[in-house]
Amino acid sequence: MLMRFFRYAQRRSTVLFVALLAASFSFGANCTPGTTVCAENCPKGDKGDKGDQGSAGKDGRDGLQGPAGATGPQGPAGAAGPKGDKGDKGEAGTCNATNCQQGPAGPAGPVGPQGIAGPACTIGQTSTDNNGNTVITFNCGTTNTNAVFRTTPAGTIIAFAGEKSKIPAGWFLCDGREISRTQYQDLFLAIGVANGAGDTVTTFNIPDLRGRFLRGVDDAQGRDPDASKRTAPANFSGTPTGNAGDKVGSVQSDALKIHSHKANTGDGLLVYTIGGSGDRYGGGNEKMVRVPLTSEGDSTESRPKNVGVNWLIKY
């Protein structure tokens, strides 16, 4: 504002100066001599020449900077530049035993045509192998094929009426022997260590049925009242290693069931009970009777009638 005022005042001074100069010219031409005032009827003089432009005024102080305007909207994206040149081909890779990977397997090929039917087969001879299995030979043209059939499962026990020297192939005498778990794998899978664990690592025991009857496992039916007292069979060293209790392979020693015997004098007065030592008496007339406690029988065991056999087990 101050700058504008100075410029305005300068222009007004220039105009006033020009007016005064024009008046001085008219005074000389049209005014009465000896006076300084123009008469009212004096004509107006010619317009003077335009005065020279005055010198520029001093620059004013810069005004305060106004606040920044709002950011304008983003302009549209420029056109994509031209595609660069193709790079050079890289060097060929190397393949070794540690970083070379096999590519994926290709698709399976089509199924081939069915082959020509072979010659018809006929049944040849039938025999028994060293393990007692049935072997049937099939004759198919110039080729013979043997088929082995296990007719008796491993672990089967039978009564054999022949001597030990006549035991057929594929069978063991049930004598508690220790045999290999791998060589006789089928038998081991069938009976396990029920009759003895052998060396607990590579061998196991088969049943020892010499001089023994067979009895079915009670299976909690109550027919064997002492089933829970059955013991584990001992191996050749006398160590029990098989099953005990109401299980396959457990054994029982001989026993005599608890019982009583009554003796009568014949007159109904005295009854004597055997089962301990000493004499007991009683009755109406107090008659004493002595009954001797003697051993009776003709054997060292109680047994039924029986026939000796060899018990065999299939392996």
Domain boundaries, the chain: 120-151, 154-255, 257-294
| Separation of alpha carbons 245 and 230, rounded Å | 5
CB contact burial 192-223 (16+ within 10 A = b; e otherwise):
bbbbbbbeeeebbbbbbbeeeeeeebbeeeee
pLDDT at 132 over 50: yes
The better pLDDT of the pair 53, 211 is held by 211
pLDDT at 109 over 80: yes
CB contact burial 49-71 (16+ within 10 A = b; e otherwise):
eeeeeeeeeeeeeeeeeeeeeee
pLDDT at 270 over 80: no
The better pLDDT of the pair 73, 11 is held by 73
- The three-class DSSP label of residue 223 is coil
* Helix (H) and strand (E) counts in the chain: 2, 10
Q: What is the mean pLDDT of the chain?
A: 77
228, 275 contact by CB (below 8 A) = no
Q: Which residues contact 271 (CB under 8 A, 6 or more apart)?
A: 262, 263, 264, 282
- The three-class DSSP label of residue 106 is coil
